């Protein structure tokens, strides 16, 4: 009988060998656990390098799974170094998918996320690796950061091809990319195709719709969540409140606020901050203050900045400065945004001395003014008629003035009829290559107010030659949950005849109070009667007239306008608020006007 199965010596040898193998395997297992623990305990870049050296000298680097963990720590942890991680990765003879994922993830969270996409493409150039769901997830997050829609669509195809579509987290990440780059149709389609969704999925689409051009759809999705029995969380309500802010949908914003209170989400400072912003943008600065004063959580710097800017936009300059001063009393150090909000409050209230004082205090506190701070000072001085002083600030700035600064000076020149300063600002804008319709219209307004019709014609010709078209003014108002939009001279509304009849009635009544149409706001060299008709049919007047015939007496009317409210409309709406005993709130592109009893919150200073 030979040496083999059944032989006593063979059986003894096998027994010994099996024990040895088991011992070695157990030893290796414990060593692997020990190495993994060591990697997890790395607290500095130096420790990462030392551990890598041990991996190499002990022969584990090319084969031990803990190598990937070390690579990941080096690529993404605060104690790591992405460049060193890349060198480490390049020394691996046969990198695994997990190794690739560590580098791709590192780039996706770095200052150069576009390189994550390049490395992802390298995975496909490799003959030995296939991406997994994590690979796709990391590179999609990079796509979201650099708004890489084309690449995201390619990865979408890979997700389907490799069978990852059932991964809810991965598909949610893909949906988030579509939402952030503004491809809301594909985001909605992907959402509808998903067989299973978590809260994160709903949140991604709601946020995308709210930040994009479909805030109404965002609110609809928020309501659909509740219908389907899902509980919105903090992220969800932040998206819904953002949509309310864009729509000035106060009633719906209040409904979201009630949900926040009922579910105890008002302990979240971010939710409270967005609530303050929502109420301010929906025209109710009193409710914004109510949220600020009753916050259960500690107020953040953002909380203070938000309420100061809210008061500023509503013309309550003194209130804004009181809260700014209160910050210092409670130990909150204002930042550049705080000072900017306070300066805006001075702008809208004509507090020139306070504005100058704040600007000096900001510089004294070591905060370097940026273009917006200088712009706020130019606006403050320009609004008060100190055009030369405003001009000198622009000329003395340590950085190049932007287009907005010259447009601000041009607007102030128009307000005070200063043709020379308007022409200076206009020349600067032309030199900077600006050709927005507002630049031409403001200069044309200056000439029209002086009845310099030849110059008006020259400006109009320049607009035509450069194919510059005036942005049409429009206003919208909400009645019983439905939003109605009006343009100048609009006759598309089903009740347009009733609206125009109301305008005629308004015209007669305001003249009884001494109103005289400010026809200098009309650019055309036409007859006075035609000018009066043009003024009468401005979009904000149409919206207010519709509000009067569509709501019961005493109901506030709120109107949103895409452009700055004109002086004539401002005068007329003040009188309407007195004659019809209505509060009328107009939100234009720069601030809120609260009309009540014949007065405006701006004090005729805007």
DSSP track, 524-538: S---HHHHHHHHHT-
| pLDDT digits 0-9 by tens, 33-80 | 455 555 555 566 666 666 666 666 666 667 666 777 778 877 887 777
CB 211 within 8 A of CB 147: no
With H, G, I as helix, E, B as strand and everything else as coil, classify residue 486.
Answer: strand
What is the distance, to the nearest Å, from the Cα of residue 21 to the centroid of all Cα atoms in its chain?
62
Band the pLDDT of 3: cuts 50, 70, 90.
very low
For the segment 192-201, the average pLDDT, to the nearest whole number, is 83
Band the pLDDT of 518: cuts 50, 70, 90.
low
CB 203 within 8 A of CB 236: yes
Q: How many CA atoms lie within 13 A of 34 on its CB side?
A: 9
Q: For residue 496, how many other CB atoms are within 10 A of its CB?
A: 14
Question: Which percentage of the chain shows pLDDT scores above 70?
Answer: 86
Band the pLDDT of 191: cuts 50, 70, 90.
confident
Buried/exposed 412-444: b ≥16 CB within 10 Å, e otherwise = bbbbeebbebbbbbbebbeeeebeeebbbbbbb
What pLDDT does 128 receive? 65
201 contacts: CB under 8 Å, gap ≥ 6: 168, 171, 172, 175, 191, 194
Residue 584 phi, psi dihedral angles, 5° rounding: -125, 125
Band the pLDDT of 16: cuts 50, 70, 90.
very low
DSSP track, 536-590: HT-HHHHHHHHHHHHS-TT--EEEEESSPPPHHHHHHHHHHHHHTT--EEEE-SS
What pLDDT does 52 receive? 60
For the segment 476-481, the average pLDDT, to the nearest whole number, is 86
| pLDDT digits 0-9 by tens, 231-266 | 899 999 999 999 999 888 888 999 999 999 999 999
Distances (CA, A) of 200 to 91, 110, 172, 237: 38, 23, 7, 12
475 contacts: CB under 8 Å, gap ≥ 6: 485, 486, 539, 540, 542, 543, 559, 560, 561, 562
Task: Give, in degrees to the nearest 5, the angle at Cα 583 between 578 and 585.
Answer: 120
User: Distance (Å, rounded) from C-alpha 411 to C-alpha 390?
Assistant: 12
What pLDDT does 59 receive? 62
DSSP track, 101-117: HHHHHHHHTSS-THHHH
User: Distance (Å, rounded) from C-alpha 89 to C-alpha 71?
Assistant: 7
On the 0-12 / 13-18 / 19+ scale of CB atoms within 10 A, 533 is: middle
Three-state helix/strand/coil letters over 301-345:
HHHHHHHHHHHHHCCCHHHHHHHHHHHHHCCCCCCHHHHHHHHHH
What pLDDT does 519 receive? 57
What pLDDT does 49 receive? 62
Question: Which percentage of the chain shows pLDDT scores above 90?
Answer: 43
Whole-prediction pTM: 0.78
For the segment 322-343, the average pLDDT, to the nearest whole number, is 95
- pLDDT top residue among 201 and 276: 276
User: Distance (Å, rounded) from C-alpha 333 to C-alpha 366?
Assistant: 12
DSSP code, position 256: H
Q: Which two tokens stand for residue 435?
A: 């050709």
Sequence ranges of the domains in the chain: 7-73, 94-197, 212-298, 474-600
User: Distance (Å, rounded) from C-alpha 483 to C-alpha 547?
Assistant: 11
What pLDDT does 1 receive? 44
Instruction: Count helices and strands (H / E) in the chain.
Output: 30, 6
pLDDT above 90 for 129: no
What pLDDT does 166 receive? 87
Band the pLDDT of 30: cuts 50, 70, 90.
very low
CB 358 within 8 A of CB 326: no
Nearest alpha carbon to residue 239 among 269, 282, 271: 271
Band the pLDDT of 530: cuts 50, 70, 90.
very low
What pLDDT does 528 receive? 43
For the segment 298-317, the average pLDDT, to the nearest whole number, is 94
What pLDDT does 289 receive? 96
Beta strand pairing status for 482-487 and 474-479?
antiparallel
For the segment 575-585, the average pLDDT, to the nearest whole number, is 95
What pLDDT does 535 receive? 65
What pLDDT does 139 receive? 94
CB 32 within 8 A of CB 25: no
- Of the spans 115-124, 209-218, 334-343, 479-488, which averages the highest pLDDT? 334-343
User: Distance (Å, rounded) from C-alpha 349 to C-alpha 550?
Assistant: 33
For the segment 389-407, the average pLDDT, to the nearest whole number, is 92
pLDDT above 60 for 514: yes
User: Distance (Å, rounded) from C-alpha 556 to C-alpha 423?
Assistant: 41
What pLDDT does 527 receive? 41
Band the pLDDT of 566: cuts 50, 70, 90.
confident
Band the pLDDT of 473: cuts 50, 70, 90.
confident
């Amino acid at each position: 009988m030979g040496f083999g199965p059944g032989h006593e010596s063979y059986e003894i040898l096998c027994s010994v060998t099996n024990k040895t193998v088991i011992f070695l395997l157990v030893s290796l297992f414990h060593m692997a656990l020990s190495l993994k623990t060591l990697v997890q305990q790395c607290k500095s870049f130096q420790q990462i390098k030392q551990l890598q050296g041990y991996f190499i000298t002990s022969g584990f680097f090319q084969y031990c799974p803990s190598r990937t963990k070390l690579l990941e720590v080096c690529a993404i942890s605060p104690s790591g170094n992405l460049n060193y991680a890349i060198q480490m990765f390049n020394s691996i003879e046969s990198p695994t998918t997990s190794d690739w994922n560590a580098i791709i993830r590192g780039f996706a969270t770095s200052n150069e996320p576009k390189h994550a996409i390049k490395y992802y493409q390298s995975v496909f150039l490799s003959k030995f690796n296939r991406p997994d769901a994590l690979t796709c997830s990391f590179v999609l997050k990079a796509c979201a950061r650099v708004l890489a829609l084309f690449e995201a669509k390619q990865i979408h195809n890979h997700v389907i091809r490799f069978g990852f579509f059932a991964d809810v987290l991965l598909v949610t990440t893909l949906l988030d990319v579509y939402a952030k780059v503004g491809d809301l149709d594909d985001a909605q389609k992907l959402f509808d195709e998903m067989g299973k969704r978590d809260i994160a999925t709903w949140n991604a689409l709601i946020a995308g719709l709210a930040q994009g051009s479909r805030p109404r759809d965002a609110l609809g999705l928020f309501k659909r969540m509740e219908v389907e029995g899902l509980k919105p969380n903090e992220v969800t309500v932040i998206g819904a409140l953002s949509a309310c802010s864009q729509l000035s949908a106060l009633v719906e914003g209040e409904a979201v606020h009630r949900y926040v209170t009922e579910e105890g989400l008002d302990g979240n400072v971010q939710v409270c901050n967005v609530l303050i912003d929502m109420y301010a943008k929906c025209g109710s600065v009193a409710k914004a203050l109510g949220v600020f004063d009753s916050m259960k959580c500690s107020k953040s710097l953002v909380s203070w900045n938000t309420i100061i800017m809210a008061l500023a936009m509503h013309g309550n300059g003194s209130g804004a400065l009181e809260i700014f001063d209160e910050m210092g009393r409670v130990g909150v150090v204002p930042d550049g945004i705080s000072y900017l909000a306070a300066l805006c409050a001075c702008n809208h209230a004509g507090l020139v001395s306070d504005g100058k004082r704040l600007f000096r205090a900001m510089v004294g506190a070591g905060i370097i003014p940026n273009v917006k701070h200088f712009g706020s000072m130019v606006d403050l001085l320009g609004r008060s008629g100190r055009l030369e002083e405003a001009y000198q600030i622009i000329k003395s700035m340590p950085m190049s003035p932007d287009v907005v600064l010259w447009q601000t000076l041009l607007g102030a020149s128009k307000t005070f009829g200063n043709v020379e300063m308007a022409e200076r600002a206009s020349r600067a804008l032309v030199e900077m290559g600006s050709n927005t319709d507002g630049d031409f219209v403001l200069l044309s307004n200056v000439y029209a107010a002086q009845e310099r019709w030849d110059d008006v014609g020259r400006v109009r010709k320049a607009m035509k030659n450069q194919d510059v078209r005036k942005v049409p003014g429009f206003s919208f108002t909400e009645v019983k949950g439905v939003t109605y939009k009006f343009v100048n001279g609009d006759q598309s509304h089903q009740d347009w005849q009733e609206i125009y009849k109301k305008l005629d009635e308004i015209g007669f009544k305001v003249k009884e109070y001494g109103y005289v149409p400010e026809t200098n706001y009309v650019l055309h060299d036409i007859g006075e009667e035609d000018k009066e008709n043009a003024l009468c049919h401005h979009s904000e007047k149409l919206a207010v007239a519709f509000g009067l015939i569509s709501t019961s007496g005493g109901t506030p009317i709120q109107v949103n306008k895409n452009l700055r409210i004109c002086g004539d409309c401002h005068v007329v709406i003040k009188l309407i608020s007195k004659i019809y005993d209505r509060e009328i709130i107009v939100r234009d592109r720069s601030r809120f006007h609260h009309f009540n009893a014949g007065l405006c919150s701006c004090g005729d200073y805007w």
